[in-house]
Structure 1
Amino acid sequence: MTQRPLTTIGFDADDTLWQNERFYRLTELQFTDLLIDHADSDHISARLLEAEKRNLRHYGFGIKGFTLSMIETAIEITEGEVPATVIAQILDIGRDLLAHPVETLPHVRQTLEALSGNYLLVLITKGDLFDQERKLAQSGLGDLFDAIEIVSDKNASTYRRIFSKVGDGPERAMMIGNSLKSDIVPALAAGSYGVFVPHELTWSFEHVEEPTEAPRFRKIGHLGELYRVIEALS
């Protein structure tokens, strides 16, 4: 009997299934407004990005690390003279970010429902455990997945481990996501298919060149086009 070329499909969460970066951008605007008397907004944003990149190895991805990076940036921008009231406001906007509503993106539920039962579906997301669990619960999508994996980072070994544990190995798996750096390139390196679904807002840290020469790379405009890609593999 001929083996099915695809048995397992992984989905990223933030900005693939639901809105996320939009809320970070709004929070960043609030943050720059707090410090606008000390520097222009572009400079503040650039310093914040530097702090975020520097702190990833300490705090990982997610809102808590972002909040700590905002505090660190405020201290740097004001040369250690940031008022306690501003620190308190930064903590407030960080907490607000942890409570933002979950807005699923177009075609998400229909696509997952169409695939569920025919393929093993696994949610593979990185970031703060509490925040990711909250968003998944509020999305109402949890029952459509066969497995949930919240990881500290995404690389080729991550996908090999997950697709071997949940499915039939990375060669018979596909990863769907909006981040080339986290979702697509490492999945391709693991031997899986990688389907890039661009989002209008993507954190600059996640930008890399599209691996257009990779034979297992695909790109779609939205999740409603995914089933067509999967059918073409049969």
Structure 2
Amino acid sequence: MDGKLTTIAFDADDTLWQNERFFRMTQDRFADLLSDHVDPDHLMERLLEAERRNLGHYGFGIKGFVLSMIETAIDVTDERVPAGVIRALLEAGQEMLRHPIELMPQAREAVTALADRFRILLITKGDLLDQERKLAQSGLGELFDGVEIVSDKTAPRYDAIFAAHGEGAGRAMMVGNSLRSDVIPAIEAGAWGVFVPHDLTWELEHAEPPRDQARFAELQHLGELPALVAALD
């Protein structure tokens, strides 16, 4: 390594706590509501297209997801979607925003084990109010030396965050479940990128693992992180 590891950053959704599970549950409800109008597989394709198209407008998070579902419902029904369906989609989004936090296995133990020796950051995408709510409910807030809620995760953004909160990307590590957002851009910035797969990951976050990169590591779960950090220290 080019220097001693001093800063460890964690993704939030589906790394420290469950998230995608609730999106999938809502998608199933969406398919039920539109079952008289369109085949479920085709509906999910149209929804994913809308989400991809709308990222630049709405960003990441529940609110953009709900708006994309409403747009898709209007499109697939040729603007004949019943008002009751729109209301049900809005209520589903509100339920998602109220859902209690479920920490991932060994998340608290992993962060706690490292917090005494390293600068610990949370770097997450999504809606500001929702991510602040989840962080407050997680009980992990006091363990973080810094929290960054960003519109997107890119190499320049990681470079800036690690410079502001630590000693630069060369002495930093990013831990997350998304290869596209957490791992690859962090490595491009000069940090370690540690991939902790989740059994449900949004299609738009998929990418090929950068196995040829010296600063790439993959773990089965967060419980393996302290040992990895010790081996690099």
Matches within 5 A, 1:24-173: 24-173=23-172
2:179 aligns to what? 180
Give the whole-Å Cα distance in 1 for the aligned partners of 2:24 and 2:223: 26
Question: Equivalent residue of 1:103, what SS?
Answer: coil
Distance 2:110 2:141 in 1: 14
Alpha-carbon separation, structure 1, partners of 2:186 and 2:4: 16
Q: Please tell me the residue identity of whatever aligns with 1:193.
A: W
Equivalent AA in structure 2 for residue 38 of structure 1: H
Aligned to 1:213: 212
CA distance in 2, matches of 1:4, 1:182: 24
Mapped to 2, the partners of 1:217 and 1:36 lie a distance apart of 43
Helix, strand or coil at the partner of 1:211: coil
SS in 2 for 1:229: helix
TM-score normalised according to structure 1 size: 0.98
Structure 1 residues without counterparts, runs of 5 or longer: none
The answer to whether the 8 Å contact 2:3/2:170 transfers is no
Alignment root-mean-square deviation, CA: 0.9
Distance in 2 separating the partners of 1:188 and 1:219: 13
Deviations 1:8-38 (A, max 9, x none): 0000000000000000000000011000000
Q: How much has 1:4 moved relative to structure 2?
A: 5.3
TM-score normalised to structure 2 length: 0.98
Whole-angstrom CA distance in 1 between matches of 2:227 and 2:112:
15
SS in 1 for 2:194: strand
Post-superposition Cα deviations, 1:93-116, rounded to whole Å, max 9, x if no partner, equal 111111111000111111111111
Amino acid at match of 2:142: D
Figure out how many residues of one structure are paired with residues of the other and give that number. 232
- C-alpha displacement at 1:117, in angstroms? 2.1
Task: Output the amino acid matched with 1:180.
Answer: L
Match of 1:231 in 2: 230
The amino acid that maps onto 2:112 is E
